[in-house]
Amino acid sequence: ETGVTQSPTHLIKTRGQQVTLRCSSQSGHNTVSWYQQALGQGPQFIFQYYREEENGRGNFPPRFSGLQFPNYSSELNVNALELDDSALYLCASSSQNGEGNGYTFGSGTRLTVV
Amino acid sequence: QQPVQSPQAVILREGEDAVINCSSSKALYSVHWYRQKHGEAPIFLMILLKGGEQKGHDKISASFNEKKQQSSLYLTASQLSYSGTYFCGTANYYGGSQGNLIFGKGTKLSVKP
């Protein structure tokens, strides 16, 4: 059973650029959530995808968008990068089959905007 | 609404016990507990769904009060490997999905030899 893998692990971008982060969910999981984690803070919910559709969104502007593919992998896209977007971006997968299932997190992508 | 975790940080000697609390102003659907070591992914510890529930494995256990507004994580006879930041994640509803988790700010636990 493979876990959640994210790519790239580190990324440096210039303010105003666009970035795409990728996530492969754990085998058997059909739901993917994305979180932003600033240094020393808890993960903040960006959005969740289930069956290729957005299934909930946190307090993030529209320039944060995503996709989920038929194999349940996912992408997070951020347009018009701002300095405050610098953070660790975590992807988490889970199963919708019944209650009591925790999330499996990837190791994250460290994004630095300069 | 973000849950409130306390304490913010705690330092223990090996073998000592610790309690981490997670509180919400509203009744919750579920509470998750995760541990994150520096530079690593958060690791799922357990989930509580029912008021009055208690569960655990090994020397780590958790409770969920009857009103489903507070959860506590209990670490017994702590080991060096318990060091890390502990997060509670709370879900306020169940709408055909797990519910979107809102995480607290975390409790940094350091276990010293």
Tens digit of each residue's pLDDT (9 = 90 or more) over A94-113: 886 556 678 999 999 999 99
Give how far B47 is from chain A: nearest CA, Å: 6
DSSP string, A28-61: T--EEEEEEE-TTS--EEEEEEETTEEEEE-S--
- B44 contacts chain A (CB < 8 A): yes
- A45 contacts chain B (CB < 8 A): yes
**52-91 in chain A: CB under 8 A from chain B:** 55-56, 58, 90
Report how far residue B58's alpha carbon sits from residue B60's, in angstroms, rounded to the nearest whole number.
6
State whether A100 and B47 contact (CB < 8 Å). yes
- In chain B, residues with a C-beta closer than 8 Å to the C-beta of A35 are 103
State whether A102 and B46 contact (CB < 8 Å). yes
Nearest to B48 by CA among B36, B35, B66, B75: B66
The pLDDT assigned to B67 comes to 87
Nearest to A32 by CA among A58, A4, A64, A59: A4
pLDDT in tens, chain B (113 residues): 899 999 999 999 999 999 999 999 888 888 999 999 988 899 999 999 888 888 888 799 999 998 889 999 999 999 999 999 999 999 876 554 556 788 999 999 999 99
Tens-digit pLDDT profile for residues A68-79: 999 889 999 999
Residue A46's pLDDT band, with cuts at 50, 70 and 90, is: very high
Tens-digit pLDDT profile for residues A14-43: 999 999 999 999 888 888 999 999 998 999
Residue B95: which residues within 8 A CB-CB, separation 6 or more? none
The pLDDT assigned to B1 comes to 81
